[in-house]
Amino acid sequence: MSNLFACGPALITRIAAQVPTLAHVSDVSGLEPFENGPPLPAVVIMPDSAEAQGNPDDGDIQRESQRWQLVLMVDHHQSDAGDMSTVEQAGELLHQLLTGLIGWRPESGYSACRYAGRAEPYYEPGYAEFPVYIETGLLIAGGA
């Protein structure tokens, strides 16, 4: 494998298949065509922090534990009678998103995904963001 972020496209495909009610799923570069944001609900993925494990002095293989941020964006407006609230809608979609990813292996050479928590929601007039984190890992072989 020659790309540390190779599981990104696989994550996008998996999320779109597991949560078919999403109007848009992409990485951050997929937001460029939308002047006022993507159609909602949407998920945007981006690599987050990573941690190297293992000692290269022990050999030429190390494991990188990767954290990915998945940002769910939903409509945020005053709820009319019968409409789901912003938080209810986000909660249902996040549950679908996580159950479709936990235990799933994105690519050959990657470990299975695990849920790693979520950040505080962010609210703006018209939309809200609900960031969650998943972790996976891969082995990196040195050339020595």
Give the domains, in start order, of the chain with CATH numbers.
Answer: 7-141 (3.30.2000.10)
| pLDDT tens string 46-66 | 999 999 887 766 667 888 899
Q: pTM value?
A: 0.88
The C-alpha atoms of residue 20 and residue 129 are separated, in whole angstroms, by: 19
The C-alpha atoms of residue 73 and residue 102 are separated, in whole angstroms, by: 20
The answer to whether the beta carbons of residues 41 and 126 sit under 8 Å apart is no
Own/partner pairs, 47-53, CB within 8 angstroms, 24+ separation: 47/4, 47/5, 47/8, 48/133, 50/4, 53/137
The answer to whether the beta carbons of residues 24 and 39 sit under 8 Å apart is yes
Backbone angles phi, psi at 2, to 5 degrees: -120, 15
| pLDDT tens string 18-33 | 999 999 999 988 887 7
